[in-house]
Each structure stands twice: as structure tokens, then as C-alpha cells.
Structure 1
Amino acid sequence: MSFAVNAAPPRSGPVTDPIRVMVVDDSVVVRGLIGRWIDEEPEIAVVASHRNGRLAVEDVERSDPDVVILDIEMPEMDGLTALPKMLAKKPGLIVIIASTLTRRNAEISIRALSLGAQDYLAKPETNSGVTTSVEFRQELLRKVKHLGAARRRRAGRPPAVPPASTGRPASGRSFAAERPGGGLGSTRPMGRAAAAPQPAARPQQPHAAPIGGRSMAGIKLRPYSPQMPRVLTIGTSTGGPQALAVLFGQIGRAIDKVPVLVTQHMPPTFTAILAEHLAKVAGRPAHEGQEGEVVKPGIIYVAPGGKHMTVEKSGTDVVVRLNDGPPVNFCKPAVDPLFDSVARAFGSSTLALVLTGMGNDGENGTRTIARAGGSIIAQDEASSVVWGMPGAAAHTGECSEVLPLDQIGPKVIRILGGQRL
């Protein structure tokens, strides 16, 4: 994907309590470049910059960052070694791993996520690539802002508010900002490089009981489908690898009865490694989906990075389709194409999960599955790293439940086991 980046308007004044960022990278060029990008954003500020993990660990308490952008390969102490040391000194710290798209770095990045990192950035392989990549800059700023804001909400601190005259984002559009309470509020500029749009503000759903007689915290819920699921499909983004590991560690053999289709927002190479990790935790086969293969029960199919994965009927079978179309919801792979296709292929026998992630990918697919008579479970806000995707799905009023992550696996087991709901 690409985004237009225009000249940043001058700041009109200081921002109260901006999100504090530490940059850790052995390249002075990369440190300087990221520092300049961040300095052009009113809501965020660099408080420390280090060339290796050892210096970062020694300084993390004094600098007190909200977010650390952490390189993997550095002298003296690499990122993977530094990560647990920083988290031990500063629990709740947001760490974003930055790595190039090699298999080794993908494996290390996914391991870092299991050790407490919150997210990852696919870094261009050369300094010149970093300098010219609008996409890398866009993703970095978006993730720092959203994850930093989420951390402040959990800590009960208000988000940084930029001066009113900082101007409009590059695209000329304003995007919805997240309220301190985790909902979606009125629009405001997001700074020089516009973040991917979040779901628009939604009025609170009425507390009157919807069809099925259920509601929760103003969110309408609909009854589960009476049909036994013939497929489990999952969409997730930020925090997804950790959430998927928890989920598949719980459900294990329960998926022997259905194929499992997963879209996780990840670049190429990373999705192949993710599939390998899911196979280990689930004790079931898992791999990237391949064009034309028949989906079978007991197998986990992961959408390959850089392609959309869908399914379609082919005689009595359902087969995987991959396409290289444009990004959907700024994502490729995206959840909505998968959910839409699953609804067409499996109808009311669909069980879908929307897990932690930024943005609103999966919102339209949730509606499509509901219209086909299927069932959707969304992860709740408290257990989500970012309650963008599951929050958007929940606010459609088409989910059957909104659950903490640790309750989703047991619920899936009961549903696949034939429990009437």
C-alpha cells in the first residue's frame, strides 16, 4: 500500500504529555530518521535514542518511555535479549519489534511477541529503503500512536491532544480518534502521516433487549445459529499472534471436526512462520493457504502475507482461492474478503471470531456472516491489545457474544461439541 505524504504544517504550540518513545537501532541513520518523523507528530515525542539493547535497558527507567521501537540485530546486546530485561524493569511497556523480512528475523519477531512484545514492523533491508519507504513510515507512526494511546487508557492517563491548528492529515481527511474509554469518538487530525481510518463514531445501542433477549453494556447481541458449525474462521491483527497462540492452545483437538481459516495482518514470510507456530501449539497441521487446495477438517489455513485468501465452492468441495487484488481496509491480506467468502460457502454453518487488532477490518464481514445466518464472537476490550477490529464487530450488533480471550476457546469447544446455545 502507499500513502501520499505532504509537508507538515508548523506546530502551533506544545502538546501536553505526548506519548513518549524510545528508539533502539544500531544505525545512526535509522535513529535520526525515525526521530525526525516522530518530532513532526504533535502527539508523540522521542525521549531517548540508543544504538544497542544494553544502553536501552540501562536507560528505560530514567527515560520512562510509553513505547519502544526495538531493532533485532545490534552489537553488545540484541533486541531479543534486551526485551525481557526492559519489561522486567518497566512492566506494561509497549515494545514494537522492527525487523527486515528474512525468515530468521520473522522467527525472532514471533518469538519476541511470545515474550511480551506487542507488535512488529517490517523494516526495509537498507537504510535507503527506510528513507524512501512511505509505507514503513506510515505503519511506524500509526502503531506508535495507537499502541501508546491504548497503554495510557489502561493506565488511566488521558491521551496527548495536539494543538487545534496542526492541520489536516495528508489525505485531506480526518480520522476517528479513540476515546480514553476505548470507544470511538469525534474526528481530529492525526498529524502529518495519516493513520488508517478507524470506524466512525457510533451511538450507543439501546439497552432494550434485542432479538434473543440479550444485550451487554449497550451492545446488541444476536442468537447463535442453530446449525452445527462446518467451519471456524478467524480475523485478527495487532496482538493477534499472541491471541491465536492462546486460542489454539485451548481448542486443540476440537478443530478436528472443522477446517480453520485465519487472516492475520502480517507481511510475507511472517505468515509462514506463524502457521508453523500455530501447528505446534494446536498439535494440528497448519500452513499458508494454497491456491485451489480443498479445505479439510482438522487443518489450519493461514492467509499468506501479501495476498487475500478466500474460499469458494467447487462441486461438493470448498477450495482456497488466493488473489493479488488491492488492499482492503488498508490491509493485505484482509479479513473482510475471507469472511464474505466463508459466508457464501458455508452460510449459517459458519462460526467466526474477531480478535484483537487496530482498524475495522472484519466489520463488514461480520455483517455478511450474520446475514447468512452464521455466528460471530468478538474479543472483549479488556483482553485486547487494541479494541479496534473486535470493537467494530461488536458495535454492529451482529455478534452472539463478546468475551475475554481466555473464555473464547472454551466457548468454541462447547459449540463445536454440539452444545445448544
Structure 2
Amino acid sequence: MVVDDSAVVRGLETRLLEADPQIKVIASVGNGQVALQTLERHEVEVVILDIEMPVLDGLSALPKLLARDPTLKVIMASTLTLRNAEISLQALEAGAADYLPKPAASREISADGAFKHDLIAKVKALGLARRRNQQRPGAKPGGTGFTAARTRQEAPVKAPAVTLRQQAPVVLRKAPVTAEAVDIIAIGSSTGGPQALFTVLGAMKGSGPLRQPILITQHMPATFTTILAGHISRSAGMDAHEGQDGEVIKGGQVYVAPGDYHMTVESKGTQKVIRLNQDPPENFCRPAVDPMFRSIARAYGRRTLGVVLTGMGSDGTKGGAMIVEAGGTIVAQDEATSVVWGMPGAIAQAGLCTAVLPIGEIGPYISKIANKR
């Protein structure tokens, strides 16, 4: 379901979505109140929810939509402003699955290839994740497809069942046999990542001051990463900020890759410094996790702890392989607690992880390794 007060934007987004044969749009509505009424009549898997709307705005509608259907996957959509970035992160903390920055001008929506890719990829990934969750024992019954076209039918509309591919088994590596503590913690995340980051870093607060630096690449545009760093500082009680080119890396600091820049590490004498670049996107992303992991494997070798949290795609797997080759350690989030088990699933199924853990156990696991003497 597409929810936006602009009929032009609704029409453009609907056409982009329905150009993919696996996606159908159940309804196209102008505010959150109508979206709630539509949810009573139709079975919906994914909602594209605008922030600024009359009658009932997106942030106010979000908890009501999730109360009506807790399995619903909601993507917040907004133009790229500081205010909207802040609201989008509040929405993620309140249960939204992801966010989608809209082009400033509605006429640019169809022309923006990156927006089209992200819109379709996120809807399909979240729809698939919802279906997988519903196939687990004890899961609430629900829909099976990315459901149907703009319609005002009163009867629920269902899409044909979709066969889900079997996932490869996870084979864990043995933990490196070493008495050495790690010198750096590198975290990669995407869809569902902000909530996961707050959980992981928040759980580390009680373990005392951290001597290692933490580098984070979260798939986010500029402005959003600025707000994310501020939220991490407040929620985790750690000094977090966007990394700056040439900045010397210090222990106990959290560095967030700024939107539209890959963040890497370079050895400079006895120091390690952050380098930012605008090399081509990797895995359709900039910032991407792979460049960060590769550079950290070269700079820190076996004293590296890499962490891959929830997200779609496979970013982090190639860089993670280099960390393992250098003697470092990789841990990933498990499927049950991931919003989308793409990134962590890919690296886990590649046999690179020493542990695949629920989100609530990752923070204590990191603290245990970080505090090793």
C-alpha cells in the first residue's frame, strides 16, 4: 500500500512498483486514517508511508497500523531534510522496518534510478522477510504475496503463493586460538540496522569504558548518518560522530560512515586514520561495508572483530572474508531477530562466522571479546 498526500507521488510510486511482476499495489491512499481503514479490508504486506500528511501523518499512523497488524512491514518515505531524518529515525525506533529518502521534486521520482532500485528492492526484501517469519512454527497466519493493484474492492485480495528458496546451512568457524584482545570493532548494517545498533551498543554500556574504537557503516544517505550518530551518543552513552577524512582513530570513540562516502582505514606511521572517498558504490551502496572491512583487515589484521547486523543484500561478505583470512573474527545476527536476514545470512552461510547470535546477545559477546586481556 502506498500512503502519500500527493496524488502525483502515489501514481509515480505505484507505476514503479507495478513495473516489477512480483509486486502489486493493493491501494493508493492520501493519509494515515484512510490507510487504517484500508488495512481493515485488504491484506497488505508492505506499506510505503509518507511522513507529512493531513488528517493523520505518518509518525502518528505508524503505531496504529502496527497495532492492527504487527506483522506489517512499514517503510517511511520522506524528502531529505534534517527534520525528516530525525522523524524517520524516531519511526524506526517505534517499529518501522526501513526508510526511503524521496527526491525533492516529485517529477524526479521516475527519473531517479537509485530511488527506483531502492523502492523495489526494499519492498521485495521486506515482503519476503515477512513471509519467512510467518512460516516459522507458531507464527501468525498471513498473506503470501506482495499484493494486488489499486483497488476499492471490499473483499480481501491475495496474491498467489510464492515458493521460498531453501537457505544454505550455517557452518561456524572455530574461534581464533589467541590470548590477544581485539584492537578494533567494525560493524556493518542496513535494513533494520539503526534499531539493532541501539540494542547492541546499549547492551555494552554496563561493561565499562571501551578501549577499542568502533567503526560503523550503516546504509544511509547524508543527513541521516548525522542524526544516527547523535542517537547513538544518547542511547548508548558513547561518543559517536561521523568520521572525518584524515581523523586519527582513538579508542573508545564511535565513528559512523557519513552518507555518500565510503569510510576506510589507513595506517600512517604508528597511527590509524580514517579515509573517506567517493569511489563507485559497492553492492549498490555508498557507504558500503566491504570497503571498510577490507581496509580494516589490512590495517589491523587478526586483532579485528567484524560484526554484521540485519540488512538486505550481501554487503560485508567479501570484506569479511578478508578479515577471516587475516586471522580476525566475524559474528553475525541470527535470522529470527533480523528485520531482513540478507547481509548476516550471506556471511553466515559463507562459513565466515565464529558465532551467529540473537541481537540481544551480540552486545555482551562483543564486550567479552573486547575486555579480554
How far apart in 2 are the matches of 1:222 and 1:115?
37
Tell me: CA distance 1:83–1:399, structure 2 relative to 1, closer, same or farther (3 Å).
same
Moved more, 225-234 or 368-377: 225-234
Residue of structure 2 equivalent to 1:229: 182
> Does structure 2 conserve the Cα–Cα contact (< 8 Å) formed by 1:311 and 1:345?
yes
Distance 2:12 2:43 in 1: 21
Q: Return 5+ residue gaps in structure 2 as ranges.
A: 136-141, 148-161
SS of match in other structure, 1:257: coil
Contact 2:307 2:331 in 1 (8 A): yes
- The one-letter code matched in structure 1 to 2:372 is G
Post-superposition shift, 1:38?
Answer: 2.3
1:162-190 Cα deviation digits (max 9, x unpaired): 9xxxxxxxxxxxxxxx973662xxxxxxx
**SS in structure 1 at match of 2:27:** strand
Aligned to 2:94: 115
Structure 2 residue 180 is the aligned partner of structure 1 residue 180? no
What is the alpha-carbon distance in structure 1 between the residues aligned to residue 227 and residue 92 of structure 2?
Answer: 13
Structure 1 residue 85 and structure 2 residue 64: aligned? yes
Q: Name the CA distance, whole Å, in 2 between partners of 1:231 and 1:161.
A: 41
State whether structure 2 residue 269 is matched by structure 1 residue 285: no
For residues 309 and 179 of structure 1, what CA distance do their matches in structure 2 show? 38
Say whether the 8 Å CA contact 2:170–2:348 is kept in structure 1.
no
Q: Deviations over 1:377-402 (max 9, x none)?
A: 01111111111111111122121111
2-side partners of 1:341 and 1:256: how far apart? Answer: 22
Relative distance call for 1:321 and 1:255 in structure 2 (3 A) is: farther
**Counterpart residue number, 1:361:** 315
Displacement of 1:220: 3.5
Amino acid at match of 1:224: P
Structure 1 Cα separation of the partners of residues 116 and 26 of structure 2: 19
Structure 1 segments (4+ residues) deviating >4 Å: 157-162
Q: Distance in 2 between matches of 1:410 and 1:154?
A: 26
1:1-400 mapped onto 2 (5 Å cutoff): 22-156=1-135, 160=145, 180=164, 183=167, 204=168, 218-224=170-176, 226=178, 227-252=180-205, 254=208, 256-400=210-354
Q: Give the CA deviation at 1:159.
A: 5.5
Alignment-mate amino acid for residue 124 of structure 1: P
CA contact under 8 A between 1:308 and 1:325: conserved in structure 2? Answer: yes
Deviation at 1:37, TM superposition (A): 2.1
* CA deviation profile, 1:217-254 (whole Å, cap 9, x unmatched): 55132323522111110011111001001001101255
Task: Judge conservation of contact 1:158–1:180 (CA < 8 Å) in 2.
Answer: no
1:225 to 1:301, Cα distance in 2 relative to 1, 3 A: farther
Aligned to 1:11: none
Supply the distance in 1 between the matched residues of 2:220 and 2:102 (Cα, whole angstroms). 13
AA matched with 1:221: R
TM-score, scaled to structure 1: 0.80
CA distance in 1, matches of 2:166, 2:61: 30
Is the 8 Å Cα contact of residues 24 and 51 (structure 1) preserved in structure 2?
Answer: yes
Separation in structure 1 between the aligned mates of residue 65 and residue 127 of structure 2, nearest angstrom: 16
Q: Structure 1: which amino acid aligns with 2:116?
A: R
1:292–1:241 Cα change, 3 Å:
same
Task: Decide whether the 8 Å contact of 1:153 with 1:182 is kept in 2.
Answer: no
Give the AA of the match of 1:148. Answer: G
Work out whether residues 357 and 387 of structure 1, in 8 Å CA contact, stay in contact via their aligned partners in 2: yes
Post-superposition CA distance 1:63-114 (Å, at most 9, x none): 2211100000111111000000111111111000011110000000011000
Distance 1:281 1:69 in 2: 27
Note the C-alpha offset of 1:282. 1.3
Q: What is the rounded CA distance, in whole Å, between the counterparts of 2:257 and 2:3 in structure 1?
A: 31
User: Alignment identity in percent?
Assistant: 52
Alpha-carbon distance in structure 2 between the residues aligned to 1:132 and 1:161: 24
Per-residue CA deviations over 1:176-217 (Å, capped at 9, x if unaligned) read xx973662xxxxxxxxxxxxxxxxxxxx5xxxxxxxxxxxx5
CA distance in 1, matches of 2:97, 2:334: 17
Q: Secondary structure at the match of 2:222?
A: coil
Taking the aligned partners of 2:11 and 2:209, their CA distance within structure 1 comes to 48
Comparing 281-290 and 35-44, the one that deviates more: 35-44
Distance 2:265 2:81 in 1: 29
Q: CA deviation at 1:59?
A: 2.2
Q: TM-score, normalised by structure 2?
A: 0.90
